[in-house]
C-alpha cells in the first residue's frame, strides 16, 4: 500500500561490513523533504563477510525503520534493487549504495523536483559539478562518458551521468516497469525504459567521494561490456510494462493514424469544457485538447497519470487529474460544470456501470453531452478482452438502456471500426493471444486511409459503438 508521506531508501549490500553501519547511521540522520518519513529497505546479496550480521544488529535497534532482506545466493546489484522495490511503500524512492561514495545529506536536493511535481525520476550527476568530487581513474571517466553517450543515443536523453548510483523515482512508476538485469546493467536498463515510458527525467549536481579498488570498488571492465549489451538489448525492443493491459495501450500509442481516425469521429460532439475519463497515456487527449477552454484528462492509474502529465505539461488549458469513475466522489470538483464528458473504452471495466453513468451525468451541465465509446458484442469476447480486464462488451440496446436509466437522452448511436472485428476474433478467440502484435498493428495503421473509406461498407457489425447522450 503506497504511503504518500513516506520515502523509501533502497540499499543493495554486498560485502560492506566495514562501512554498512556508518552508512545506515547517516541514512537515518539524513534530512528529508518537509513532511516525509523514511523507510529503509536493505537487501543483502548473500555477502560472504559480516555485512548481514551488522545490518541485523543495527535493524534491531531501529525497528521498524530498517527492513532487512537477504538473497540465498549472490545475484547482483540489479537483482537486489528488484527485491528492494517489491518492499518499497513510499511515494518516492531512491537507490543508495552502501559504500559511502554518495552523501545522504543531499536527499532534499535530489527529491525536490519529485516533490514539486516536476519530475518522475531524478539522477544525481557527478559531472554536473556543484559540490565536492574526489578525482580518480581517468579511464573510468572516459568509460562512463562513452556509456552515457551510448545510452543517450538509445534513449534520446541528454544525461551527463547515466551510471550514477543516485537515482530517485516516483515509486509506482518504477515498480510498474519490468527490470531484467541482474548486475550493473540495471543502470542503463532503467534509463532506457524510463525514456520509453515518456518519464520526465531531471538531473541535479551531487558531491561524490569515490573509492579505489583497494578500498573496495567493485565495478570493472566486464560490467562495461555488460552495459553496452544492455543498451543494445533494450534499445531494440520495448519491454516497459509489467502488466498486459498498459502494454497494449503503449502499443496503441504508436497507431497514430488509427487514433486520429477515432479523434476525428469524436470531435463533432466535443464542446469547450471537457473531461476525458480514462485518458490512459493520452493517445486521444493530445488530439482533442486543442482549442478547448478546459480539458480535464482524468485517469485512475498512477503510472498513466505521470505519463499524461509529461505529454500534456505544456498545455495550460489541460488539467491532469486523478479520476475514479466508479466512485461518486471520484470525479473531482466539476459538478454541473462541463459541456462534454468523453468516456472512451472505460465503462466496460466497471462492474457497476449504472453508477458510473450517474457519476458522468453529475458533472455535466444541463444540455451537456456524454460521449461513450465501448466494445460491442459479447459474442466476440476473448483473451484480449480478458487481459484488458473488460467486464463485458455491449449491445446497442443494452448501452442505450443504461444511459437512459442514468438520465440521458440518447441522440446518436454510431458503429465505429468494423474493419478490426475479424482480427479481434482471430487473435482473441482463435489464437488466444494476450497481446497486440506491433508488426500487425503497424501494417494496419499504415492502411487506415483505406479502412476509413471501406469501413461503413463492410457487412458485419463494428468492433465498437459510440453513444451520444444529452443530460436532461
Q: Are residues 232 and 272 both part of a single domain?
A: no
Instruction: State the Cα–Cα distance between residues 26 and 44, nearest whole angstrom.
Output: 18
Round to whole Å and give the CA distance between 226 and 232.
Answer: 10
Higher-confidence residue: 222 or 82? 82
470 three-class SS: strand
Cell representation of residue 357: 453513468
In this model, does residue 365 exceed pLDDT 70? yes
Which candidate, 39, 434, 55, 89, places its Cα nearest to that of 251?
Answer: 434
Residue 243 has pLDDT above 70, yes or no: no
Query: Does 199 share its domain with 319?
Result: no
What's the whole-number mean pLDDT along residues 38-60? Answer: 96
Helix (H, G, I), strand (E, B) or coil at 412: strand
Of 208, 238, 268, the residue that ends a domain is 238
pLDDT for position 295: 97
Please indicate, yes or no, whether residues 348 and 259 belong to a single structural domain of this protein. yes
Mean pLDDT taken over the chain: 91
When pLDDT is averaged across residues 291-315 and rounded to a whole number, the result is 88
User: Are 320 and 378 within one domain?
Assistant: yes
Distance between CA atoms of residues 57 and 43, nearest Å: 14
pLDDT at residue 251, rounded to an integer: 73
Share of the chain above pLDDT 70, in %: 94
Residues 287 and 147 in one domain: no
If pLDDT is split at 50, 70 and 90, which confidence band does 441 have? confident
Domain housing 442: 245-471
Last residue of a domain, one of 170, 204, 238: 238
Q: What is the mean pLDDT of residues 55-68?
A: 93
Specify whether 103 is located in the same domain as 201.
Answer: yes
Shared-domain flag, residues 234 and 266: no
Q: End of a domain among 216, 238, 260? A: 238
Q: With a cut of 60, say whether residue 217 has pLDDT above it.
A: no
- Calculate the CA 43 to chain-centre distance: 24
Model confidence at 90, pLDDT cuts 50, 70, 90, reads very high
CATH of the domain at 441: 3.40.50.150
Residues 35 and 181 in one domain: yes
Q: What is the pLDDT of residue 219?
A: 65
In this predicted structure, which of 311-315, 359-363, 463-467 has the lowest mean pLDDT? Answer: 311-315
All three cell numbers of 287, joined, read: 488530439
| The pLDDT value given to residue 143 | 80
Kind plus residue range of the DSSP H or E element containing 286: helix 285-288
214 and 352 belong to one structural domain: no
Residue 211: its pLDDT value, please?
56
Please indicate whether residue 37 or residue 246 has the higher confidence score (pLDDT).
Answer: 37
Same domain, 261 and 220: no
Residue 67 confidence (pLDDT) above 90:
yes
Q: Are 271 and 371 in contact (CB under 8 A)?
A: no
Question: What is the full DSSP assignment across 115-146?
Answer: HTTS-SEEEEESSS-SS-B----HHHHHHHHH
Does residue 187 sit in the same domain as residue 278? Answer: no
CATH of the domain at 142: 3.90.550.10
At residue 17 the predicted structure's pLDDT band, cuts being 50, 70 and 90, is very high
Residue 305 contacts residue 322 (beta carbons within 8 Å): yes
Q: Which pLDDT score, from 0 to 100, does residue 439 have?
A: 83
Averaged over 209-225, what is the pLDDT? 64
pLDDT in tens, 185-205: 999 999 999 999 888 899 999
Count of domains in the chain? 2
Verify that 380 and 309 share a domain, yes or no: yes
Amino acid at each position: 500500500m503506497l504511503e504518500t508521506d513516506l520515502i523509501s531508501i533502497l540499499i543493495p549490500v554486498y560485502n560492506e561490513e566495514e562501512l554498512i553501519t556508518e552508512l545506515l547511521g547517516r541514512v537515518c540522520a539524513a534530512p528529508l523533504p518537509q513532511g516525509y518519513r523514511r523507510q529503509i529497505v536493505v537487501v543483502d546479496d548473500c555477502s560472504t563477510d559480516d555485512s548481514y550480521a551488522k545490518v541485523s544488529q543495527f535493524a534491531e535497534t531501529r525497528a521498524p525503520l530498517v527492513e532487512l532482506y537477504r538473497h540465498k545466493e549472490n545475484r547482483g546489484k540489479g537483482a537486489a534493487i528488484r527485491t528492494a522495490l517489491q518492499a518499497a511503500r513510499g511515494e518516492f524512492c531512491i537507490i543508495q549504495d552502501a559504500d559511502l561514495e554518495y552523501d545522504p545529506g543531499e536527499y532534499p536536493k535530489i527529491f525536490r523536483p519529485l516533490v514539486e511535481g516536476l519530475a518522475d525520476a531524478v539522477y544525481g550527476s557527478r559531472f554536473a559539478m556543484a559540490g565536492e568530487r574526489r578525482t580518480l581513474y581517468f579511464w573510468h571517466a572516459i568509460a562512463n562518458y562513452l556509456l552515457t553517450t551510448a545510452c543517450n543515443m538509445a534513449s534520446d536523453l541528454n544525461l551527463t551521468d547515466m551510471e550514477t548510483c543516485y537515482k530517485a523515482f516516483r515509486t509506482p512508476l518504477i515498480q510498474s516497469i519490468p527490470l531484467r538485469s541482474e548486475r550493473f546493467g540495471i543502470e542503463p536498463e532503467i534509463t532506457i525504459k524510463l525514456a520509453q515510458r515518456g518519464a520526465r527525467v531531471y538531473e541535479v549536481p551531487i558531491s561524490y567521494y569515490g573509492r579505489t579498488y583497494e578500498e573496495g570498488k567493485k565495478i570493472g571492465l566486464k560490467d562495461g561490456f555488460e552495459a553496452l549489451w544492455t543498451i543494445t538489448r533494450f534499445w531494440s525492443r520495448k519491454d516497459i510494462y509489467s502488466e498486459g493491459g498498459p502494454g497494449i495501450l503503449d502499443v496503441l500509442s504508436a497507431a497514430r493514424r488509427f487514433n486520429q481516425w477515432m479523434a476525428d469521429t469524436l470531435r463533432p460532439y466535443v464542446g469547450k469544457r471537457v473531461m476525458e475519463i480514462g485518458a490512459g497515456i493520452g493517445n486521444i487527449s493530445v488530439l482533442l485538447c486543442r482549442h478547448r477552454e478546459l480539458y480535464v484528462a482524468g485517469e485512475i492509474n498512477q503510472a498513466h497519470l505521470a505519463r499524461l502529465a509529461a505529454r500534456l505539461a505544456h498545455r495550460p488549458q489541460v488539467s491532469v487529474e486523478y479520476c475514479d469513475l466508479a466512485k461518486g466522489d471520484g470525479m473531482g470538483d466539476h459538478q454541473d460544470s462541463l459541456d462534454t464528458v468523453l468516456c472512451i473504452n472505460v465503462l466496460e471495466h466497471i462492474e457497476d456501470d449504472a453508477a458510473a453513468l450517474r457519476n458522468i451525468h453529475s458533472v455535466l451541465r444541463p444540455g451537456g453531452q456524454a460521449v461513450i465509446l465501448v466494445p460491442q458484442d459479447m459474442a466476440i469476447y476473448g483473451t484480449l478482452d480478458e487481459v484488458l480486464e473488460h467486464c463485458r462488451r455491449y449491445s446497442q440496446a443494452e448501452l442505450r438502456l443504461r444511459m437512459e436509466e442514468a438520465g440521458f437522452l440518447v441522440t446518436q448511436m454510431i458503429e465505429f471500426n468494423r474493419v478490426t472485428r475479424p482480427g479481434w476474433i482471430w487473435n482473441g478467440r482463435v489464437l488466444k493471444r494476450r497481446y497486440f502484435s506491433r508488426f500487425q498493428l503497424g501494417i494496419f495503421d499504415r492502411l487506415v486511409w483505406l479502412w476509413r473509406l471501406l469501413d461503413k461498407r463492410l457487412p458485419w457489425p463494428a468492433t465498437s459503438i459510440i453513444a451520444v447522450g444529452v443530460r436532461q
